[in-house]
Amino acid sequence: MSSTSRRDFLKRASRLTAGAFAAGAFIGCAKGKPAEPPPTAGPAKGGPPPADAAAKTGGPDLVVVKGGSTSAEVVRRALELLGGMAAFVSAGKSVCIKPNASWDRVPGSGGNVHPDVLSEVIRACKDAGAREVIALDYTLATAPLEFNGLRDGAQKAGAKFIELTKDDAGLFDEVEFVEGLKALPGIGPKERVATDLLNADVVINMPVLKTHSATGLSLSLKNLMGVIYDRTRYHGGGSGQGLSVATRRSQILDQAIADLGLLLKDRISLTIVDATYIMRSSDGPRGLDEEDGEPMMSMVAGRDMVACDTKAAMLFGMDEQEIMAKVPHIPLAEAIGVGTMKLAALNVKESNLGGAEKMTAPS
C-alpha cells in the first residue's frame, strides 16, 4: 500500500475516534508524565516495575516457521531462530504466559492455542532457568479447559494454569493510563489487569491465528483482552458516556484494542502466534463443533506485537490493504507507537522445515 493510502486510513480512523468521543465522551485525560518515547504502564501496587527481557542477541526481529509435522516441532524451531528462550528468560526469573484458551474446543480446532505449543514454551522457559512459570487467561466459555487441553498441557510441563473469571476481581490491579491512548480514557478511568501478569518478570503473549466476528482476526493485540477484568466496555457494554452500544462497538473496539497494546507493550517480552491449526470459519472466535482447524503448521514470533500480527495476517492470505480494511486495530496500534507494520524495515528470518531458510535484512 502506498504511503498516501496509509495516511488516508489513519486520518479517517482519527476522525472516527474523535467523533465517537466528542461532546463529553472523554471523562478525563491520559495520566502519566509526557516523555519521549511514550512512558510505559506503571507497576501494580506493590508490584515490580515493568520487566526487561534478557539482553537482545542481535538476532532476527521476527521469525516465521512453516512446514513442520507437529505443533511442538514448529514452536521449537521458532525459538531456536530467535536465539533460544535464554534470549528472553534469565535464571531465577518468573514467567507469565498468556495463551488464547477461552473456548470449549478440542486441540486442533483452531479455537485456542494448541496445548503442545504451550507445553514446549513452558519447558523452554524452565530450561532457561525460570524460577516460576504460570499460564493464565480470562476464559469465556463454560469449562473450556476441560476441552482444550491447555491446563493439562501446562501441568504436564510443570506450570500452573490460572483460569480467571468474573468472580476473581481480587486477582486484578489497576494500571494508570499512559500518554497516547485515544479510546480507553473515555471508558476508564483506569484499566484493571491480571496481577500475576503485572508481577511477572517476563510475559509471553501467545495467541492463535483465527477469525473473529468483531475484529476480523484475533491475534496478539486482541489476545490481551484476556488479561483485563472488564472487556465488556470494549465491546459496547458498561458505561457508555452517552454513546449508543452500536457506536461504541463500531468506533471504540478497534482503538481500545490498540490502546491496550500501548498500555502493556513494554511488559510483553515475546509474542508467539500459533498458526499450526488455524480457524477460517466465519463463526470465529469459537467456531463450530463440527469444523476442524486448518493445519497450516506455521508459527510467527518476535518482540513486536504489531509486526507479528501483520505477518500472521499475511500468512492468513491478507495483503496490507486488506489488513487495514478488515483488521483495523493493527494499523491503529502502529499509529500510536505499539509497533510497526513495515516488515521490510525488520530483520526477518524464515524457515521451512521441509526446505531452505531465508533471511531478509532491513531495506
Q: Among the listed ranges 5-14, 248-257, 317-326, 350-359, which one has the minimum average pLDDT value? A: 5-14
CB-count burial class (<10 Å; 0-12, 13-18, 19+) for 136: buried
Measured CA distances, 102 to 94, 142, 169, 183 (Å)? 23, 9, 18, 25
- In CATH, the number for domain 3-360 is 3.40.50.11440
Q: Among the listed ranges 45-59, 232-246, 257-271, 343-357, which one has the minimum average pLDDT value? A: 45-59
- pLDDT by residue (tens digit) across 148-199? 999 999 999 999 999 999 999 999 999 999 999 999 999 888 999 999 999 9
SS3 label, residue 360: strand
Q: Which three cell numbers stand for residue 207?
A: 495467541
Q: Where are the domains of the chain?
A: 3-360
The confidence score (pLDDT) of residue 50 equals 40
Q: Which three cell numbers stand for residue 192?
A: 484493571
Place of cell 492455542: 113
Helices (H), ranges, the chain? 3-21, 71-81, 115-127, 145-148, 150-156, 184-187, 195-199, 220-223, 245-264, 305-316, 320-326, 329-335
- This prediction's pTM: 0.83
pLDDT tops 60 at residue 12: no
pLDDT tops 60 at residue 237: no
Task: Place 22 in a pLDDT band, splitting at 50, 70 and 90.
Answer: very low
Q: Classify strands 357-360 and 268-279 as parallel, antiparallel or unpaired.
A: unpaired
Q: What integer best gives the mean pLDDT of the chain?
A: 85
Q: How far apart are CA 212 and CA 208, in angstroms?
A: 11
DSSP 305: H
Q: What average pLDDT does this structure show over 214-243?
A: 83
Task: Place 139 in a pLDDT band, splitting at 50, 70 and 90.
Answer: very high
Place of cell 471508558: 187
pLDDT tops 80 at residue 122: yes
